[in-house]
């Protein structure tokens, strides 16, 4: 199995390399990621300037690694179009911060995975909610388990999953659940300031405190459980490929082993 790993937190982000280290246990991994942090850039693609690529020394020995002066979506398009011959799975993450509800529409993590799905590959976007310290190992192990299930045909290859984990040690995570996107997670507001030379504006995202449906990703994370959202159905209104009802419970049992 050959896996392309990317992210929107930048080529040297801790979450990316925690994920890569885990996936090398079962797959040949290639990293193509932005040269800098690119959060909240969504599906942006660079069309009016050249993309420059540099091969860099990996933080996990033996992993072919490229840094791109572009967006997360650029990285996947470039990787699949020029840099790598054949890929079986595209994984974006581990993002430092959850991607839930309408945040998915501006997420660079999700935007990168989307480019893999649009090119006929199974795609996973993996995120962990923010906290004082990030618990990344569980997310990496869960990604490995999902990759195994795709490779073995337990999961179909025409899937696009948005996976979010609470920022907790595994012992405190209560379970895993198939979810749908919450309809709204934040509202955008504008703050005004003045630096002494001219007025400026600062866009601020504020969380909406309201009751959410128990079938949604936000509710699931708030209950200290793992949310797995099939985005191929939500974003493209396609019938979901068969995903076993027992998927989440079996994944959670395997995580605990």
Q: What is the mean pLDDT of residues 81-101?
A: 96
Rounded Cα distance, 254 and 252, in Å: 5
2-181+212-255 domain in CATH 3.20.20.70?
Answer: no
Instruction: Give residue 236's pLDDT.
Output: 62
Is residue 23 pLDDT above 90, yes or no? yes
Binned at pLDDT 50, 70 and 90, residue 251 comes out as very high
Is residue 99 pLDDT above 90, yes or no? yes
Domain ranges of the chain: 2-181+212-255
Strands (DSSP E) found in the chain: 2-6, 28-34, 53-55, 64-68, 89-96, 123-128, 160-165, 176-178, 186-194, 199-207, 226-230
- Using alpha carbons only, what angle is made at residue 75 by residues 73 and 79, rounded to the nearest 5 degrees? 125
* pLDDT 10s digits, 104-150: 999 999 999 999 999 999 999 999 999 888 999 999 999 999 999 99
* pLDDT 10s digits, 182-197: 986 556 678 888 888 8
Is residue 64 pLDDT above 80, yes or no? yes
Percent of the chain at pLDDT > 70 equals 91
């Amino acid at each position: 199995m050959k896996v392309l790993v990317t992210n929107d937190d930048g080529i040297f982000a801790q979450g990316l390399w925690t994920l890569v280290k885990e996936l090398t246990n079962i797959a040949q991994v290639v990293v193509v990621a932005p040269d800098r942090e690119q959060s909240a850039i969504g599906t942006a693609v660079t069309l009016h300037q050249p993309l420059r690529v540099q091969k860099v020394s990996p933080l996990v020995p033996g992993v072919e690694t490229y840094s791109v002066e572009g967006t997360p979506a650029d990285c996947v398009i470039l990787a699949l179009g020029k840099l790598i011959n054949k890929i079986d799975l595209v994984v974006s993450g581990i993002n430092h911060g959850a991607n839930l509800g309408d945040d998915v529409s501006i997420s660079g993590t999700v935007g990168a995975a989307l480019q893999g799905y649009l090119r006929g590959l199974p795609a996973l976007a993996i995120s962990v909610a923010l906290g004082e310290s990030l618990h990344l190992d569980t997310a990496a192990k869960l990604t490995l388990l999902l990759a195994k299930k795709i490779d073995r045909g337990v999961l179909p290859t025409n899937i696009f999953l948005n996976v979010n984990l609470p920022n907790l040690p595994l012992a405190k995570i209560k379970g895993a659940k198939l979810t749908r996107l919450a309809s709204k997670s934040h509202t955008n507001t504008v703050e005004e300031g003045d630096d002494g030379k001219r007025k400026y504006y600062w866009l601020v995202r504020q969380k909406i405190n309201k009751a959410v449906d128990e079938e949604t990703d936000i509710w699931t994370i708030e209950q200290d459980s793992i949310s797995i959202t099939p985005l191929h159905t939500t974003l493209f209104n396609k019938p979901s490929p068969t995903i076993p009802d027992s998927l989440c419970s079996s994944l959670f049992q395997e995580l605990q082993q």
